[in-house]
Amino acid sequence: MKKINSIIVITIAVVFFITLNSVNFMVKMLKRKGGNMKKINSIIVMAIAGLFFIAANPVQAGNLVIKGSTTVLPIAQKTVEAYMKENPDIKISLSGGGSSNGIKALIDGSTDIATASRFIKDKEVKLAVEKNVFPVAFAIAYDSIIPVVHPSNNINDLTLDQLKAIYTGEIKNWKEVGGPDLQIVINSRDTSSGTFETWEKKVMKKERITPRAQVMASNGAIVQAVSNNKYAIGYIGIGYLTPGVKTLKVNGIEGTEETTLNGSFPISRPLFMFTNGWPKGETLDFINYVINPEKGQNHVADSGYVRLY
């Protein structure tokens, strides 16, 4: 779903861009016609100026801007909705675009909170400090990725190296890792997803996934593909586990909330929100809401991630 949302956002942005340009064009046409159009002219110009003004000044009193990782987007969406219901006078605008974009926006001051599925890089910190921005990190949830297979598969446990060999295409048949004599059908996520990013970092360790891997657009699509296919292997976020797929242990450790939080499950990572300096006012209220075990953290669990506590 988050993908579709971002596609819609992009479409709206493109349409907005085009409308502005065509209005601009219209104004030019009207201007050419001269004299009598002056009034209409100034009204249109004012309207456009108004639009630009709104577009150019997202950070206003009573408003909060959140930008960044699409991995964090489902959590942010649910929390923002609930938060605005409780505080109707505060308007929060939320957008995805990726961890890097969020942090970039924080550095140039166009967002109050940047969400990220990774920690801030040294390069970014340097850039921020140069611009007098001092990012503060808040871990808000954990993300844990579980390898899954078809329930009829007799394999229970794979090591990280075996997973890597399967995904690079070195191991092509289940019998090479002690399973049935079947070809392995690899299911992966598109390169833009946060889930893929984690998998690439924690399992692939910079090696490339074979081009033969099927690429799915969502966690749900992986579940769908793996639960219907006895040849298949896939990986999904811990919140998307269903009885239709069989989970695998990694290096002998089962992926649960407990093993994620104590750090023993190898394919997991924390998710962050960054603010400029220690948060104040509405930003602080919102961050407090997100890490509140009674409120924001419930939405973390609802979105398929692991709660902080």
Q: What is the contact surface with another protein in residues (CB under 8 A)?
A: 2-3, 6-7, 10, 14, 17-18, 21-22, 25-26, 29-30, 33, 36, 70, 96-98, 100-101, 183, 185, 190-194, 200, 206, 208, 211-217, 221, 224-225, 228-229, 231-232
Report in angstroms how near the CB of residue 232 gets to another protein at its nearest: 7
Nearest to 115 by CA among 299, 306, 269, 275: 275
Nearest to 197 by CA among 70, 68, 43: 70
Q: Select 156 or 214, whichever has its Cβ closest to another protein.
A: 214
Q: Select 207 or 258, whichever has its Cβ closest to another protein.
A: 207
What does DSSP say about strands 135-149 and 232-237: parallel, antiparallel, or unpaired?
antiparallel
Report in angstroms how near the CB of residue 185 gets to another protein at its nearest: 5
DSSP annotation string for 133-187 = --EEEEEEEEEEEEEEE-TT----EE-HHHHHHHHHTS--BGGGGTS-S-B-EEE
Report in angstroms how near the CB of residue 72 gets to another protein at its nearest: 12
Instruction: Please give the helix or strand (H or E) that residue 286 lies within, else none.
Output: helix 281-291
Length of the chain measured in residues? 309
Report in angstroms how near the CB of residue 77 gets to another protein at its nearest: 14
Q: Select 202 or 307, whichever has its Cβ closest to another protein.
A: 202
Q: Select 82 or 221, whichever has its Cβ closest to another protein.
A: 221
Report in angstroms how near the CB of residue 261 gets to another protein at its nearest: 27
Distance of CA 8 to the CA centre of its chain: 15
Q: Select 237 or 279, whichever has its Cβ closest to another protein.
A: 237
